[in-house]
Structure 1
Amino acid sequence: MLLAPLRERNYRLWAGADLVSTAGTWMQVLGLNWVVLAATGSAAMMGAVVMLQSLPVLVLGGWGGALADRLPARPALILCQALRAALAFALAAGTGHVLIFAVALASGVISAFEGPMLGRFGSALVPREALGSALALGSVLGSAGRIGGMALGGVLVGVTGPAALFMINGISYLAALAALAAMRAGDLRSLPLAPPGEGGVRAGLRYLVSSPVVLIVLALSFVLGSLGRNYQVSMAAMAAGPLHGGSGAYGLLSTVFAAGAVAGGLLLAGSGRSTLPVLVASGVSISVLQLLSGLAPNLLGFAAALLPIAAGAVVFDTVVSTRVQLDTRADMRGRVLATTGIVSSLSGLVGAPAVGWLADTLGARGGLILCGLVTTAAAAGGALALARVTGGAIPGLRRVAEQPA
Structure 2
Amino acid sequence: MSDFARPSALAPFRIRNYRFQWPADLLTSWAFEMETLILGWYVLVETGSVLLLTLFAALTYVGTLIAPMFGVAGDRIGHRNLLAGMRAIYVTLSATLMLLAFTGTLSAVYVFIIAAIMGLVRPSDLGVRGALVATIMPHDQLIGAISVSRTTMDLARIAGALSGAGLFAALGMGPAYAAIVCLYLASTLLTLCVVAPSKPHPVDEAAAGALRRSPLRDLKEGVAYVWTTPRMRAAIWIAFLANLTAYPISNGLLPYIARDIYGANQTVLGYLSASFAVGSLAGSIALSVIGGVRVARLMIGATAMWYAMLLVFAHIQSVPAAMACLMAAGFLQSLAMISIAVILMRTASEHFRGRVMGVRMLAIYSLPLGLLAAGNLIGEIGFVATASLYAGTGLLLMLIIALHWRADLWHVHAPANAR
TM-score for both structures, normalised by structure 1: 0.82
Q: How many angstroms does 1:121 deviate by?
A: 1.0
**DSSP 3-state at the match of 2:303:** helix
1:80 aligns with 2:86: yes
1:136 aligns with 2:161: no
Q: Does the CA contact (< 8 Å) of 2:68 and 2:358 recur in 1?
A: yes
Aligned to 1:221: 239
Task: Check 1:85–1:207 CA distance in 2 against 1; reply closer, same or farther (3 A cut).
Answer: same
Aligned to 2:97: 91
Q: Does the CA contact (< 8 Å) of 1:234 and 1:368 recur in 2?
A: no
Q: Does the CA contact (< 8 Å) of 1:124 and 1:191 recur in 2?
A: no
Equivalent of residue 212 in structure 1, options 209, 230, 237: 230
Q: How many angstroms does 1:237 deviate by?
A: 8.2
1:176 aligns with 2:193: no
| Distance in 2 of aligned mates of 1:268 and 1:189 | 31
Aligned to 1:333: 353
1:41-52 alignment runs, 5 A limit? 45-52=52-59
Q: How many angstroms does 1:110 deviate by?
A: 2.5
Equivalent of residue 56 in structure 1, options 52, 60, 63: 63
- More divergent stretch after superposition (96-105 vs 10-19): 96-105
Aligned to 2:31: 24
Q: Does the CA contact (< 8 Å) of 1:294 and 1:369 recur in 2?
A: yes
Aligned to 1:4: 11
Aligned to 2:414: 398
**DSSP 3-state at the match of 1:80:** helix
Q: How many angstroms does 1:112 deviate by?
A: 5.8
1:324 aligns with 2:355: no
1:1-400 alignment runs, 5 A limit? 1=7, 2-33=9-40, 36=43, 45-58=52-65, 60-95=66-101, 96-97=106-107, 99-111=110-122, 114-185=125-196, 195-196=209-210, 197=213, 199=215, 200-232=218-250, 245-247=262-264, 253-272=272-291, 273=293, 275-291=295-311, 304-346=324-366, 348-355=367-374, 364-388=383-407, 390=408, 394=410, 396-400=412-416
| Distance in 1 of aligned mates of 2:46 and 2:378 | 30
| Distance in 1 of aligned mates of 2:359 and 2:320 | 38
Q: How many angstroms does 1:3 deviate by?
A: 1.7
Deviations along 1:80-108, one digit per CA (max 9) or x if unpaired, are: 22222122222222254565444323322
- Structure 1 unmatched ranges of 5 or more: none
Q: Does the CA contact (< 8 Å) of 1:55 and 1:108 recur in 2?
A: yes
- Structure 2 unmatched ranges of 5 or more: 1-6
Q: How many angstroms does 1:311 deviate by?
A: 0.7
TM-score for both structures, normalised by structure 2: 0.79
RMSD, aligned α-carbons: 3.6
Task: Check 1:164–1:274 CA distance in 2 against 1; reply closer, same or farther (3 A cut).
Answer: farther
Q: How many angstroms does 1:295 deviate by?
A: 6.5
Q: How many angstroms does 1:213 deviate by?
A: 1.6
**DSSP 3-state at the match of 1:230:** helix
Task: Check 1:293–1:183 CA distance in 2 against 1; reply closer, same or farther (3 A cut).
Answer: closer
Task: Check 1:84–1:296 CA distance in 2 against 1; reply closer, same or farther (3 A cut).
Answer: closer
Write the letter of the residue equivalent to 1:109.
L
Write the letter of the residue equivalent to 1:288.
A
**DSSP 3-state at the match of 2:97:** helix
| Distance in 2 of aligned mates of 1:373 and 1:34 | 28
Task: Check 1:37–1:234 CA distance in 2 against 1; reply closer, same or farther (3 A cut).
Answer: closer
Task: Check 1:174–1:239 CA distance in 2 against 1; reply closer, same or farther (3 A cut).
Answer: closer
Q: How many angstroms does 1:36 deviate by?
A: 4.7
Compare relative contact order (CA 8 Å, sep 6+) and give the higher one, 1 or 2: 2
| Distance in 2 of aligned mates of 1:262 and 1:18 | 15
Q: Does the CA contact (< 8 Å) of 1:117 and 1:334 recur in 2?
A: yes
In the comparison of the two structures, how many residue pairs are matched?
A: 394
Q: Kindly, what percent of the aligned residue pairs are identical? A: 21
**DSSP 3-state at the match of 1:396:** coil
Task: Check 1:277–1:76 CA distance in 2 against 1; reply closer, same or farther (3 A cut).
Answer: same
Deviations along 1:241-278, one digit per CA (max 9) or x if unpaired, are: 9xx85427876654432321221121112223371111
